[in-house]
Structure 1
């Protein structure tokens, strides 16, 4: 699995109010997700509720960074600082090892179980960030979607994961303008 898909598979596990369910809600749901996504190295790992909570924290910190890539003002400042601090702590808790072979070099988690899963996510983030396209992995600015996506626009200015989300935001803004105009007193 290419690294961008690894990052997106992990961050796109949250409920969105539009039908997507929380996939890291508890240990059982996190364990089921790991079973379906063997590429994370979790295999048949037993996951606890604490593991699921740690996965949500890691995912939410990454989503905050991706929202910052989209220019979402609510994610900037203190939320972004907290996310970056959490990711630094995660980097210390789930160290990576350099694996050198005749075919190339990659970062991998030397740990087992859930720590290996988190290390695999961090390795994918690190590897992709080094490509120079890190800023193109974004989170949709349509609340509550925040679905992660790779911005394929020519100028890197994409803000939404789909045209549907872009349309929802446009319609919401239009309705707010209409409401404000109808509530404001007529000019004399």
Structure 2
């Protein structure tokens, strides 16, 4: 646990830490139907993404099978983040499946504790693609121990599901942007109109 130095301002609970950035960088690689591309579609695209990310070891030789594993890990994490947002479709069996998958991944890519005079951290002792997955798991595990774990969420507006860190004071944010929130509100409004007893009032 990190403490603030005497006289320094207390760190904000809404500060995005490097571990949060690592998790969000990984989960925000999926296509969403509104402009974002699938970055783990095959080995080539996965390798191109890794080449730009120093925290994952930089350029790495990967295969299409590695990209498939990355997609499965990412999708399981997105389901957990949707659960943090209270998304009903992600609760129950989908969440249980995601948690089971994450346990399997955790056994395949174990972490090592690195102790120094300055503290201790989790890191992947492996190389190549296994190190990539271990680094993601290390970031998740580290931040999950904090009281702010539930603030890493996925947008409840389908098909967006963009990962974000909820900076609201009460931790009640549900959407990655006001635009997504407005889309959901409009969708609900139209549903109420369709199921209403009469024609909608006004235009």
In structure 1, which of residues 8, 11, 35 is the aligned counterpart of residue 51 of structure 2?
35
Q: What is the CA distance between 1:104 and its match in structure 2?
A: 1.6
Distance 2:122 2:111 in 1: 6
- Looking at secondary structure, tell me which structure has more helix per residue: 1
Matched with 1:126 is 141
Length-normalised TM-score, structure 2: 0.88
Matched with 2:12 is none
In structure 1, which of residues 48, 51, 75 is the aligned counterpart of residue 66 of structure 2?
51
Matched with 1:12 is 28
| Gap regions ≥5 residues in structure 2 | 1-16
Q: What is the CA distance between 1:44 and its match in structure 2?
A: 2.1
Distance 2:134 2:127 in 1: 9
In structure 2, which of residues 149, 174, 180 is the aligned counterpart of residue 165 of structure 1?
180
Over aligned residues, Cα RMSD in angstroms?
1.2
In structure 2, which of residues 97, 109, 112 is the aligned counterpart of residue 82 of structure 1?
97
Q: What is the CA distance between 1:130 and its match in structure 2?
A: 1.0
Matched with 2:42 is 26
Distance 1:163 1:93, change over 3 A: same
Length-normalised TM-score, structure 1: 0.94
Deviations 1:40-59 (A, max 9, x none): 12x22111000000000000
Q: How many residues align?
A: 183
Q: What is the CA distance between 1:180 and its match in structure 2?
A: 1.6
Distance 1:11 1:183 in 2: 43
Secondary structure of 1:99's partner? strand
Q: What is the CA distance between 1:71 and its match in structure 2?
A: 0.3
Distance 2:59 2:143 in 1: 27
